[in-house]
């Protein structure tokens, strides 16, 4: 809004300056008379000429009329738009948010925009995954919207709130509220509305992790325990921690660890890792395979066969992983 008002003021001031200077140079008007002539011309008041104009002055005044009146009309329109946005901006923003949420599918829901929720949002934004933030605090919601996120100010423990953000269509949910009780309540509500949704919950107190798992949480993380573990690991195994950091965080190195599902229609099905030649052709390393029955096989041998429904845990450059993803999905061909 400030930028818009500044542009309007600069446009009007520039027009007044050009018109004043033109009448002084072309017609020899005194400065105030030149300014007044420019002002009545721009505003189309219709007063007569202060002093008779020569042919050159009338040509200049003709261009000034076109440019000046256009500037005034634009300024009036911009001011009107600004006033309307000030009066109805909240309602317009809510309608826009509602339309965006209604279009979401296979998205993620972040309940709570504290430090944990902000970290989750940053990771999802970096991965370009669709998601919506829900927080009961309007200031946090405004902060999320200023960051370019889709956010809703509401109580995420209520059924109607989760329905409003498309819980039935959602792929996953992050429960990152302030208390374990609220996170447990969100977990139970989400699973009740969408039993297939993947829920990752934050647990602060001892014993809460086991309760959340019994309640149906697919993943539970205790931030304090994880932080303490990483601090100790950084002392004991600093190079291991550095390796994990550059493969899991955006620190400028284009190497990431990703999971990819093998489609039943992929040309890679029934081939061994040696036959796929992922390492030679794409520079991708297969770290592990999660079988369809849930078994995790770490550092699989080269003769391990790839099956439809398996998930490959792979590491490599982002562009190579995109090529591999297309191959495993059956939508690409090896060149």
**What digits encode the pLDDT tens for the residues 187-204?**
999 999 999 999 999 988
- pLDDT of the residue at 168: 92
- pLDDT of the residue at 41: 86
Q: Do domains 2-88 and 254-329 have the same CATH topology?
A: no
Would you list the domain boundaries of the chain?
A: 2-88, 104-221, 254-329
Domain with residues 254-329, CATH architecture? 2-Layer Sandwich (3.30)
Alpha-carbon gap, residue 140 to 308, rounded angstroms = 43
CB 312 within 8 A of CB 321: no
Q: What angle do CA 100, 106, 111 make, to 5 degrees?
A: 70
- 3-class DSSP state of 313: strand
CA atoms within 13 A on the CB side of 325: 12
Alpha-carbon gap, residue 2 to 6, rounded angstroms = 6
- 3-class DSSP state of 75: helix
Domain with residues 2-88, CATH architecture? Orthogonal Bundle (1.10)
Q: Which residue has the tokens 């030649």?
A: 277
Element (H, E) at 298: strand 296-298
CB 187 within 8 A of CB 201: yes
CB 188 within 8 A of CB 155: no
Stated length of the chain: 335
| Helices 31-42 + 2-27 axis angle, to 10 | 120
Residues 6+ apart with CB under 8 A from 158: 189
- pLDDT of the residue at 93: 59
Q: Quick one: residue 334, left, alpha or beta (phi over 0 = left, psi -120 to 50 = alpha)?
A: beta
Q: Homologous superfamily of 104-221 in CATH? A: NAD(P)-binding Rossmann-like Domain (3.40.50.720)
Within the chain, residue ranges assigned H as helices are 2-27, 31-42, 55-103, 115-126, 138-146, 159-164, 180-193, 208-214, 223-236, 238-248, 273-276, 278-282, 318-329
List per-block mean pLDDT (blocks of 10 residues) for the chain, which spans 335 residues: 81 90 91 89 79 87 88 84 66 68 89 92 88 92 87 90 92 93 93 93 85 91 79 83 68 71 87 86 88 83 88 86 85 51
pTM of model > 0.75: no
Q: Which residue has the tokens 């072309």?
A: 26
Residue 163: how many other CB atoms lie within 10 Å: 13
Alpha-carbon gap, residue 136 to 309, rounded angstroms = 39
CB 209 within 8 A of CB 181: no
């Amino acid at each position: 809004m400030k930028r818009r008002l500044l542009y309007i003021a600069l446009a009007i001031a520039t027009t007044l300056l050009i018109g004043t200077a033109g009448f002084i140079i072309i017609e020899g008007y005194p400065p105030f008379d030149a300014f007044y002539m420019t002002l009545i011309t721009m505003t189309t008041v219709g007063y007569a000429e202060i002093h008779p104009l020569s042919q050159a002055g009338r040509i200049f005044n003709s261009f000034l009329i076109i440019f000046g009146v256009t500037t005034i009309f634009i300024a009036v329109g911009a001011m009107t738009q600004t006033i309307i946005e000030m009066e109805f901006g909240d309602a317009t923003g809510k309608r826009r948010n509602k339309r965006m949420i209604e279009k979401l599918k296979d998205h993620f829901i972040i309940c709570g925009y504290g430090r944990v929720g902000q970290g989750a949002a940053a990771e999802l934004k970096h991965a370009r995954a669709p998601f919506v933030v829900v927080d009961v605090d309007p200031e946090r919601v405004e902060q999320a919207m200023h960051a370019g996120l889709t956010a809703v100010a509401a109580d995420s423990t209520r059924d109607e709130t989760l329905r409003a953000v498309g819980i039935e269509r959602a792929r996953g949910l992050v429960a990152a509220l302030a208390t374990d009780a609220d996170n447990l309540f969100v977990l139970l509500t989400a699973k009740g509305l969408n039993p297939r949704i993947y829920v990752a919950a934050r647990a602060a107190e001892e014993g809460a992790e086991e309760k959340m798992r019994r309640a149906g949480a697919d993943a539970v993380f205790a931030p304090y325990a994880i932080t303490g573990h990483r601090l100790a690991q950084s002392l004991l195994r600093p190079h291991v921690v550095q390796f994990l950091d550059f493969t899991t965080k955006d620190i400028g190195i284009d190497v990431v660890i990703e999971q990819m599902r093998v489609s039943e229609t992929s040309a890679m099905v029934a081939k061994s890792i040696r036959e796929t030649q992922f390492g030679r052709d794409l520079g991708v390393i297969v770290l592990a395979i999660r079988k369809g029955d849930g078994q995790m096989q770490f550092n699989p041998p080269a003769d391990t066969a790839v099956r439809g429904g398996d998930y490959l845990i792979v590491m490599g450059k982002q562009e190579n992983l995109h090529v591999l993803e297309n191959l495993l999905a059956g939508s690409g061909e090896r060149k």
